[in-house]
Amino acid sequence: MNNLEFVKNVLAEAANYEHACSVLNYDQETICPSAAMEEQGEVMAFLSNQAFKLLKQPEFIEAAEALYKDRQNLDELDRVLAEQLHRTYLETVNITPELDHEFSRIYNKAFVDWTKAKDASDFSMFKDSLEKVLEIEKKKIALRGYDTPEDAAKPVYDQMLDDYEKGITMEDLDRIFGRCRERLVPLLKKIQASPKKIRRDFMSRIVTDEQQRQMAQYLLEVMDYDFTRGAFTTTEHPFTDELGKNDIRVTTHYYEDDFSSSMYSIVHEGGHATFDQLTPESHYDNYIDGGKTMGMHESVSRFYENRIGRSRAFVHLIYPKTCEIFPQVMHDVSEEELYEALNVVEPSLIRTQADEFTYVFHIMIRYEIEKALMDGSLEIKDVPQVWNSKYQEYLGITPPDDKSGVLQDVHWTFGFGYFPTYAIGNFYNSMYYKELEKAMDVDATVAAGDFKKLNGWMKEHVFARADLVEPKQWIREITGRDLTPDDFLDYLEEKYSKIYGL
């Protein structure tokens, strides 16, 4: 008990630095002046390093490791905490505070360089920073400690994947993505050959930022987002930030000629926020709220964005308000036309604006590039060329510039192994959607706007144990089945065959 009390006191102190760091990160990605970004990054690196130093104290490590050795005698939440701390200990055992600070500075410099490179649409401005990120990512793996020789022998990229989605390997992804290629490539060709033409002209009609702000506010209200514990604003690349258990903030972006982009980025980020806002308070109090994997989180955000947000029932729910807020867009648009336009299948360059069907191809492309970078068959300087060729291969389109191609995503500024979680999230939510259907009439619930009921089921069945167990066990507990892409692929085939009359 003395060890437990000491560990939690140190974690509380570290959490103060991390909270301040999160506030600065939110500021940096929203309203920070461009000239101040690098300086702000230095402050963030300093604060992050202060938290890191606390967790590197010999007394803390000794107490945390003692808890891990005695974990079977702890209650569940404390046992999970001990296991999470042991995992962190192994990951950082050979990383000094000085080295951690150096890494933070490199990541922050990469973010600033990426921002400038994207604005200029020039990959060469980001190349050197990306090479440094790749170098330190590999270095961090080399510095790890391991419980067993088998763990140490795992391929470098498997270990990176494991950081974001515990237990997921290249073998898993090769099998899953192979299944996606097998079923989606021929279906995409059928869709493209369909005589059905979906009306899209109204989707690019001009709207104001204020109209989009009103729509974002409305959509978050529909989702039962708790504004007393959150806020929203705009950014270059939409994200959700969990600053604390009572401060879950979301962001979106406004494009005057693409009103739906803002709508569905806010629903996506609202999904992340719903997960965090409905996480049991005890998980925050016991410092285990970070146990959720990115695949779990993406399953929830994409559940709200696509399975719910692009359904007929949801379009029926929001259609009147869409007409009210965007009259210059919707004056001659029927509910059915809006539904079909929001579900059109059209290969595109930008992942975050991709339709639900072709989205997985964007993830597969990034996964293949990351694998090649890790095994040494691809050099950083050649990434734009390979990127463009893969877009042509999978989607039949080639980016005209770096901004709409290799520089579109921020993720490589902080490491590798993240992107596959976006696709894994689709597979998870398609599996637990089947369980949801057994519990309620989902379409009727959504059409009625009863998100308290919907969120209540998600809280009990999807959110409650996400911090406590690894993802393969988590999805098995929810559904009684092992991870499979087939539910997702079945859903796409059924939905889009109806839309396109196949």
Q: Determine if the pTM surpasses 0.75.
A: yes
Contacts of 284 (CB under 8 A, 6+ apart): 244, 245
pLDDT at 41 exceeding the cut of 90: no
Q: What percent of the chain has pLDDT over 90?
A: 95
| Nearest-angstrom CA–CA distance, 104 and 291 | 22
Angle of the 58-69 helix axis to the 37-55 helix axis, nearest 10 = 60
Average pLDDT over residues 264-282: 96
Q: How would you write 244-272 as a 3-class SS string?
A: ECCEEEEEECCCCCCHHHHHHHHHHHHHH
Told to judge if 368 belongs to the known catalytic residues of this protein, a careful annotator would answer: no
User: In the predicted model, what is the mean pLDDT of residues 389-414?
Assistant: 95
**Predicted confidence (pLDDT) at residue 237 exceeds the cutoff of 90:** no
- Say how far apart CA 456 and CA 473 lie, in whole Å: 21
Amino acid at site 306: N
Percent of the chain with pLDDT over 70: 100
The model's pLDDT over 142-180, given as tens digits with 9 standing for 90+, comes to 999 999 999 999 999 999 999 999 999 999 999 999 999
| Cβ pair 288, 77 in contact under 8 A | yes
C-alpha to C-alpha distance for 427 and 186, rounded to whole angstroms: 20
Per-residue pLDDT, 428: 98
The reported pLDDT for the residue numbered 438 is 98
- Helices within 243-382 (DSSP H only): 259-277, 281-285, 294-302, 312-325, 327-330, 335-342, 359-375
What letter represents residue 122's amino acid? Answer: D
For the segment 56-76, what is each residue's pLDDT rounded down to a tens digit?
Answer: 999 999 999 999 999 999 999
What is the per-residue pLDDT for 396?
A: 93
pLDDT higher than threshold 90 for residue 1: no
Domains of the chain: which residue ranges? 2-147, 170-499
Cα-Cα-Cα-Cα dihedral of 165, 167, 168, 172, to 10°? Answer: -160
**What's the pLDDT score for residue 434?**
97
Alpha-carbon separation of residue 25 from 40, 98, 351 (angstroms)? 8, 21, 23
Per-residue confidence (pLDDT) for residue 274, from 0 to 100:
98
Which of the following is catalytic: 18, 29, 269, 368?
269
The domain over range 170-499 is classified in CATH as 1.10.260.40: no
Please check whether residue 160 is in contact with residue 137, taking contact to mean a CB–CB distance below 8 angstroms. yes
- Lowest mean pLDDT of 26-35, 122-131, 247-256, 361-370, name the range: 26-35
H or E element, residue 242 = strand 240-244
Q: What is the mean pLDDT of residues 416-420?
A: 94
pLDDT tens digits for range 457-470: 999 999 999 999 99
Q: Is the per-residue pLDDT at 399 higher than 90?
A: yes
Write out pLDDT tens, residues 330-364: 999 999 999 999 999 999 999 988 999 999 999 99
Give the residue-averaged pLDDT of 127-139: 96
